[in-house]
Amino acid sequence: MSVSIEHFLVLAALIFAIGCAGVLLRRNVIVMLMSVELMLNAVNLTFVALARQSLSMTGQVIVFFVMTVAAAEVAVGLAIFLAIYSQRRTVNADELNLLRW
Partner 1 sequence: MHPAPDTAAVLATSLLRWIPLLPLLGVACGIFAATTNRRKLVHVTGPGSVLLAFVVALVAVAQLWSLPAGGALVDNVYTWIDVAPFHVDLTFRVDALTSVMILVITGIGFLIHLYSLGYMHHDEDEARFFAYLNLFTASMLVLVLADSLPVVFIGWEGVGACSYLLIGFWYQDGANADAGRKAMIANRVGDAAFLIGMFILFWTLYDMGSPSLRFEDINRMAPQLGQVAPHIVTAVCLLLLFGATGKSAQLPLYIWLPDAMAGPTPVSALIHAATMVTAGVYMIARLSHLYVFSPTALTVVATIGAVTALFAATMALVQNDLKKILAYSTISQIGYMVLGVGVGAFSGGVFHLMTHACFKALLFLGAGSVMHAMSGELDIHKMGDLKRKLPITRATFLVGCLAIGGVPPFAAFFSKDMILEAAFASGHTILWFLGLFAAGLTAFYMFRAYFLTFEGESRVEPEKAHHLHESPLTMTIPLIVLAVLSTIAGWVGLPHGFLWGDEIGHYLAPVLAPHDALGHHEITTGTLLFLMVLTTGVALLGIYVAYAFYLKSPGTADRLAERFRGVYTVLWNKYWVDELYDALIIRPYGIVSMFFWKVVDSMLIDGVVNGVGIGVSKTSDVWRRLETGNVQHYAAAMLVGAVFTCGLYWLWS
Q: Give me the least distance between CB of 51 and partner 1, in Å please.
A: 22
Of the candidate residues 2, 86, 87, 97, the single one contacting partner 1 (CB under 8 A): 97
Of the candidate residues 9, 18, 20, 50, the single one contacting partner 1 (CB under 8 A): 20
Strand ranges for the chain from DSSP E: none
Radius of gyration of the chain (CA): 17
Q: What is the DSSP letter of 66?
A: H
Helix (H, G, I), strand (E, B) or coil at 92: strand
Integer Cα distance of 49 and 56 in angstroms:
10
Between 22 and 49, CB nearer to partner 1:
22
Of the candidate residues 24, 55, 86, 87, the single one contacting partner 1 (CB under 8 A): 24
Query: Which of these segments, 16-24, 44-52, 72-80, 83-91, binds partner 1 (CB under 8 A)?
Result: 16-24
Integer Cα distance of 6 and 92 in angstroms:
38
Which residues contact partner 1 (rule: CB under 8 A)?
A: 20, 23-25, 27, 32, 93-94, 96-101
